[in-house]
Chain A
Amino acid sequence: MEKFTKHTGIGVPLRQSNVDTDQIIPAVYLKRITRTGFEDALFSAWRKDPSFILNQEPFNAGSVLVAGPDFGTGSSREHAVWALKDYGFKAVLSSRFADIFRGNSGKQGLLAAQVAQDDIELIWKELENAPGTQVTVDLESKTVVCGNIVAPFEIDDYTRWRLLEGLDDIGLTLQHEADITAYEATRPTFKPKTLPAKVS
């Protein structure tokens, strides 16, 4: 995973709550077996509307999405994170993220920064009044800067550390393989196994 320390890019105000993962990427795009190439799928239904924010310059070149509360609800599809990244987003700001989406973002190096709704409102106004305003998201200091607005954001320390270091989860876990093996030896025999297969 690439390290994330600080990013500056055009902010995109998405004035909407409950942006679910079916909106971020509809199921029809989930038939692909690759991990990249989803940029066309991002918000594909909404992008058919010419007035949608990503169809307007300079927002179409944005890389910091500023959304309403409950972003990423619904499906566990990591494709939602892949699509945001493939389009060019590096960070999403919201006052509340769905748990699975936030977890998936952390695994993929997309920064899900939790910003108070009052600050989101200020940032929305700034971005709408001065389209193209750059937003800086600094993971070291956990702050967002947009014009004259400086706002703190929250992210759990473990995810922050992994993003700053660009660490791969599986590699970290396999350092503890002896613990896994020891645990496996203690599992009760009544716990089911899928193999050999039994059917009714």
Chain B
Amino acid sequence: MAKTLAEKVWDAHVVRKGDGDGANAQPDLLFIDLHLVHEVTSPQAFEGLRLAGRPLRRPDLTIATEDHNTPTLDIDKPIADLTSRTQIQTLRNNCAEFGVRLHSLGDADQGIVHVVGPQLGLTQPGMTVVCGDSHTSTHGAFGALAMGIGTSEVEHVMATQTLSLKPFKTMAINVEGTLRPGVTAKDIILAVIAKIGTGGGQGYVLEYRGSAIRALSMDARMTICNMSIEAGARAGMVAPDETTYEYMKGRPHAPEGADWDAAVEYWNTLKTDDDATFDAQVDLDADTLEPFVTWGTNPGQGVSLSEAVPNPADFGDENAKAAAERALQYMGLEAGTPMKDIRVDTVFLGSCTNSRIEDLRAAADIIRGREKDPKVRMLVVPGSARVRLEAEAEGLDRVFKDFGAEWRFAGCSMCLGMNPDQLEPGERCASTSNRNFEGRQGKGGRTHLVSPVVAAATAVRGTLSSPSDLDPAPESAAIRTDAT
């Protein structure tokens, strides 16, 4: 029977089919190939194992890193916040007790869990990947079925290396065409979310397809899959291809020799069959897409950067109207204001959405030879210690520092403000992260989600801007058009 990519990966991991059929079917028991762990959602799960006297079944399929709570300054000193320090120490103790590999602060492979997995070559096509973090969908860029889970499920995976799941529906997101210069993967996914809404993908696995997706790098595909959850979908996928294999090859945990050949042979089967059917289809035209930005307090409240803040009265649905009114009040915005007139206080370049080396390169290419708006603060937080090292080897740190940006150590940082990197009440931020929820980046903070190149252009002008709004740089640094 013809199958979609998601169905193929699902079927290859069924340990035990649930009894019954249709709506009354019990969940399938799926094997989990890789369990990623971090300090925030794991302590209660480890404690659960301890209380029940259960071992962690597969330490060799589990890896932990410190990311959410970690400071991005003074990482050689004890963490100042005592509760954060306790949580990190608890992870260290738990990993030692249960035999889990851990990349701690200061280690070259420490960093955001969704940056570290792919970078080590642990994320591979056709795998099932889970983590107590909703942005686990990132790993779907490799053709893996990857999803976020709650702490009870974290404990379940620790104890059994499986998850009980009911099959998802499948949705194809077809993106055909060629992105224009300055338009990126981030704009694709923000436009998808604005189109289908924050609940549109609920119950589905999304598969991103089409010529525009095929043309994207792995870093860019990760940006797209990362925000599947913002459209309500627990997972998003891209079928693996040469771009995927090229990225994988030579990574520390990539297969080698005969294993590589066997793996590629299998990976080549991981595509949706021509005659398979999706439960839903969404089309997006890459040719006409413009840089996209959010104006509200959920990721579906977005418009093209060239447009204006919408008027709540124009929303037909009463709930959407009320949500828009509330959002504008929180964001301190007037309907009808051109998005490009909105002045920001802070620019944040980072998060599991946009903190990989290509994101840093793309932003650096925009600011090279230009001056930062003196009133804007810019924070650059690489996704992992290794990305930071790589950027420094290329001299990107100098570009950011010369521009006047703060060059930090790796972690989740201002994406969710669990560490000291937070917005002040009322502060406005152009952020390459994934959520513009009320208070997400700090109590009272106001977030506009943007791509790395829009973030960079905004730091130059002080108002939400696209690279095409900039005057030519004095030293006319080449602007990459293939940026993520």
Interface set of A (CB-CB < 8 Å, partner B): 15-18, 20, 22-23, 26-28, 30-35, 45, 68-70, 73-79, 81, 96-100, 103-104, 107-108, 117, 156-158, 169-170, 172-174, 176-177, 179-180, 183-184, 187-195, 197-200
Q: Is B15 an interface residue (CB 8 A)?
A: yes
A96 with B202, Cβ < 8 A, contacts A31-B84, A169-B156 known: yes
The chain B residue with its CB closest to the CB of A177 is B160
- Please tell me which one of the listed residues A23, A103, A170, A187 contacts residue B54 in the complex, with CB atoms under 8 A apart: A170
Known A70-B198, A98-B232: A170·B440 in contact at CB below 8 Å: no
Residue picked from A17, A45, A97, A107, most chain B C-beta under 10 Å: A17
| Complex partner residue of B198 from A18, A176, A179, A199, CB under 8 angstroms | A18
Q: Specify the chain A residue showing the minimal Cβ separation from B234.
A: A99
Q: Which of B121-129, B182-190, B367-375 contacts A (4 or more CB under 8 A)?
A: B121-129
Contact with A along B294-307 (1 / 0, CB 8 A): 00011000000000
CB pair B153–A70 under 8 Å, yes or no, is no
- Encoded as 1 (CB less than 8 Å from any A CB) or 0, chain B from 21 to 54 comes to 0011011010101100000110110010000101
Kindly state whether residue B463 has any CB partner on chain A within 8 Å: no
Query: Size band of the B side of the interface?
Result: 35 or more
**Contact flag A173-B29 (CB < 8 Å), given A31-B69, A31-B84, A76-B149:** yes
Which residues on A sit within 8 Å (CB–CB) of B62? 194
In the complex, chain B residues 276-329 whose Cβ is within 8 Å of any chain A Cβ: 297-298, 319-320, 322-323, 326
Which of A18, A76, A183, A190 contacts B259 (CB under 8 A)? A190
Q: Separation in Å of the A80 CB from the closest CB of chain B?
A: 9
Residues of B within 8 A of A198 (CB): 120, 252-253
Give the Cβ gap from B128 to chain A, nearest Cβ, in Å. Answer: 10
Question: Which of B154-170 touch A at CB < 8 Å?
Answer: 155-156, 159-162, 164, 166
A26 CB, nearest partner CB in chain B, Å: 6
In the assembled complex, which residues on chain A have CB atoms less than 8 Å from the CB atom of B476?
none
Q: Chain B residues near A97 (CB, 8 Å)?
A: 202
Whether the Cβ atoms of B443 and A30 lie closer than 8 Å is no
Q: Are B150 and A30 in contact (CB under 8 A)?
A: no
Chain A residue numbers with a CB within 8 Å of B54 are 170
Instruction: Give me 17 other A-B pairs in contact (C-beta within 8 A), A170-B156, A190-B260, A194-B60 excluded.
Output: A17-B322, A23-B439, A28-B417, A31-B86, A70-B202, A74-B134, A76-B41, A158-B166, A173-B160, A180-B15, A180-B162, A188-B263, A189-B259, A190-B266, A192-B124, A192-B253, A194-B34
Question: Can you name the residue of chain B whose Cβ is closest to the Cβ of A182?
Answer: B15
Find the A residue at minimum CB distance from B17. A179
Interface string of B138-156 (1 = CB under 8 A from A): 0000000000111111011
Identify which of A17, A33, A100, A192 contacts B134 (C-beta below 8 A). Answer: A100
Contact of B84 with A169 in the complex, beta carbons under 8 Å:
no
Q: B251 on the interface (CB 8 Å rule)?
A: yes
Within 8 A of A (CB), among B349-392: 386
CA distance A20 to B162 in the complex (A): 28
Report B-chain residues with C-beta under 8 Å of the C-beta of A192: 33-34, 121-122, 124, 253-255
Closest-by-CB residue of B relative to A174 is: B160
Q: List 13 A-B contacts (CB under 8 A).
A: A17-B319, A17-B320, A18-B323, A23-B437, A26-B443, A31-B418, A75-B416, A76-B150, A100-B229, A157-B24, A172-B164, A180-B162, A194-B60
- Among B109, B152, B234, which residue has the most Cβ atoms of chain A within 10 A? B152
B202, A98: Cβ atoms closer than 8 Å: yes
